Amino acid sequence: MKVKEEVKKAIRNSKKSNSLDDMLNDLIYLGMAKKNIDISGFSFEIKTLTEEENREIVERLLRIDEDRRLVCVKAMTLSKAITKINDYSFEELASAHITDDSKKKDEIELEIAKNEIILKLQSSVTDRLFTEYEALLKSSRESINVEKIKNW
């Protein structure tokens, strides 16, 4: 008899859980935006960053000399904001960029490779991508009325 009650409880909780999971998923993606940018035949997909991704950038920037922070912020942001280039995931491209077979292709090595790729691009390309990212971020903020929330 006790097992039957546990099964009923599990079923009830799973139904609640599904709607809570859906709500949590909706909440997590609230304000997320993506955009495709075409630059001379190359298609870049960028997205807004999560709070965790922003925090990681800030933590890394704080470890850098003050003089170099401004130079690094654009590359670090774009390395997280770019998700695809010409239908290839940016991580896949970064993984192919790691040529040293002795290096383990872990998360940190991929982040380093993505930053190296960004830093090798022409500044006109990174400037355009960063300008598009800032516009996407502004559009995302407007879509959820961030200013109204701040002034409330």
Question: What pLDDT score does 39 carry?
Answer: 97
Question: What pLDDT score does 88 carry?
Answer: 96
Residues in the chain, pLDDT under 70: 1-18, 100-105, 146-152
Tell me which residue of 41, 28, 35 sits closest to 129, measured CA to CA.
35
Query: HSE (CB half, 13 Å, CA atoms) of 149?
Result: 6
* Beta bridge mates, 42: 39
The position carrying tokens 């290096």 is 103
CA dihedral sign of residues 146, 27, 134, 51: positive
Question: What pLDDT score does 118 carry?
Answer: 96
Question: What pLDDT score does 1 carry?
Answer: 46
